[in-house]
Amino acid sequence: MSGMHFGRGILSTAASAWIRQGATLMLYVVAARALTPEQIGVFALANAVILIFEYAVYDAISESVVQRARLSPGHFGAAAVLSAALAAAIVAGAWLGAGPLGAALGAPEIGQYLPLMAMPVALLCLSAAYAGALRRAARFDAMATLAAVAAIAAVGTGIALLLAGAGLVALIAYFATEKTLLALGGVWLARGEPIARPRRAELVDLLPYAAAISAQRAAFYARGQADRLIIGVVWGTGVLGAYQIAARIFDSLQAALLTPISKLFFVGYTRAQLDPEALRGIFGRSLRAATLIVFPAFLGISAVAHETIILLFGPQWDSIAVIVQVMGFGGVALTLSVMSGGVLSAVGRARAFLLVELVSSLFGIALLVLFSPLGIVWMAASFVIRETFAVVIYARLLRALLGLRSADYLAYFIPALGASCAMWLALALIDTHLLAGALPEVALLVKIAAGALSYGGLMLAFCRPLLRDTLRLLGHPGGQPRESGA
């Protein structure tokens, strides 16, 4: 695959992510005005429960197809058989266990929605082998287009039903529409993939890798969804609904910025994986570039959380702004964690990567349980602590892998962190002394302008060579390091 084709695929994937996140945010803007916190919390809890199957089944099967050095029709058939068996198990488990599970979680109302949500997830898992074939063929443009179309159609369905007064059913319909379109579209796009009845040996070939990926994705699930489960159980669906609205802003920013940037630089890591010195240089430049872009975004959303919540979701949700403020600081640590983990994954250190994910997930769950009596703000703070803990582990692993000293690791992101923190403090002072009583629209515009001027001014004054190097690197993410003059 040519570099131009790969770059186009990355750009289309990023554009698709922006479209999906923007559309989903619009859905929650409408839902926040049409539904109660309890209704949003019920959907969030049911979604958190059902996602474990998508993480552990869909990703495991599709990755197994991508990973095969040679994909025979029999191996593709084996993947299809496995996905069919697991999809049937998902549906059966949801229908049989929804009631008892809802009662165990203290939210019996989710029992009536889990079977409805399980069917489109099972259909998506049924299409996992075909999604893997698309990725294997590097059909990123087609996959990105499908994901964007599915998101727009699903959000349109959800918003129409919300405006029609359908209540919580609107969110279920949004969920089902997106999964169904992704499944049917994936099968259609990969319909020409050769398939044959699998032999036992071909099934056995796929199982070990699929099981390993399933365990890895389960760790990702625990890291990303445990907070929703614990909040829903301890504090109830009303509090979870409020937390879900706050987290939606953070999740949108993460998916629209951090995820595409990390994928953009991943190709550079893989190309330099056999040369530790070159890899160290590319990682340093990419981390510096990512933090220059992402740090001010996360700390910026923290600084304007109050105005953003009021304007997007309404004044009745103002109390959740503090959750967004805390999560914004967690985004700083998350950026370092994601970028550092990408290096381990690119050089084939999958076990080390999985170990960090498992340890940090267990540590995060322990913090959530410990902080749960203190309220959701402290539970949001556990996210900051967990990601910082993961960064410390990654720093030690990078020292062993690349010979990267802690001082050098810090030097890559300290300029962006210092300028972003100075921007945050400036906005806090402006908010306290100049914007008391101002309309949220006015306050938001003033803060955005002041933040851009303060951060941009600091970077131009003290870090201009870093900015030039960042622009060069974004144009050639897999290029070899060159001196930046910093």
In a domain, 207, yes or no: no
For residue 350, give Cα distances in angstroms to 31, 111, 478: 39, 37, 21
Predicted local distance difference test score (pLDDT) of residue 483: 40
For residue 26, give Cα distances in angstroms to 162, 313, 430: 12, 10, 29
Confidence of residue 467 (pLDDT cuts 50, 70, 90): low
- Tell me the helices (H) and strands (E) count for the chain, helix number first: 19, 0
Predicted local distance difference test score (pLDDT) of residue 10: 58
Q: Three-state SS string across 240-290, please?
A: HHHHHHHHHHHHHHHHHHHHHHHHHHHHHHHHCCCCHHHHHHHHHHHHHHH
Which among 166, 140, 154, 135 is positioned nearest to 68, based on CA atoms? 135
Predicted local distance difference test score (pLDDT) of residue 120: 94
3-state secondary structure of 167: coil
In a domain, 473, yes or no: yes
Predicted local distance difference test score (pLDDT) of residue 330: 92
In a domain, 158, yes or no: no
- Please tell me the pTM assigned to this model: 0.81
In a domain, 143, yes or no: no
Q: How far apart are CA 344 and CA 418, in angstroms?
A: 27
Residue 312 phi, psi (nearest 5): -80, -45
In a domain, 171, yes or no: no
In a domain, 198, yes or no: no
In a domain, 33, yes or no: no
For residues 452-462, average pLDDT: 84
Predicted local distance difference test score (pLDDT) of residue 470: 61
For residues 180-186, average pLDDT: 95
Residue 409 is part of which domain span?
A: 236-486
**Number of structural domains in the chain:** 1
H or E element at residue 336? helix 321-346
